[in-house]
Amino acid sequence: MLIRSGKIQFLFWSAFFSVMIYLWLLWIGVSTFVIPDEMPLHIPQNLVILLFILYAMLIVLILAGTFVSTMIDNRYYRNFFGGFLILSFATFLVAKGMFG
Look at residue 65 and tell me whether its pLDDT is greater than 70: yes
Amino acid letter, 54 = L
**Cβ–Cβ under 8 Å, residues 28 and 94:** no
* Nearest one of 49, 47, 62 to 17, comparing CA atoms: 62
pLDDT of residue 19: 96
**CA–CA gap between residue 84 and residue 22 (Å, rounded):** 9
Average pLDDT, the chain: 88
**CA–CA gap between residue 25 and residue 21 (Å, rounded):** 6
CB atoms within 10 A of CB 72: 14
Between 2 and 1, residue with greater pLDDT: 2
Mean pLDDT of 73-77: 93
Domain boundaries in the chain? Answer: 45-100
pLDDT of residue 40: 66
Look at residue 37 and tell me whether its pLDDT is greater than 80: no
pLDDT in tens, 40-49: 677 788 888 9
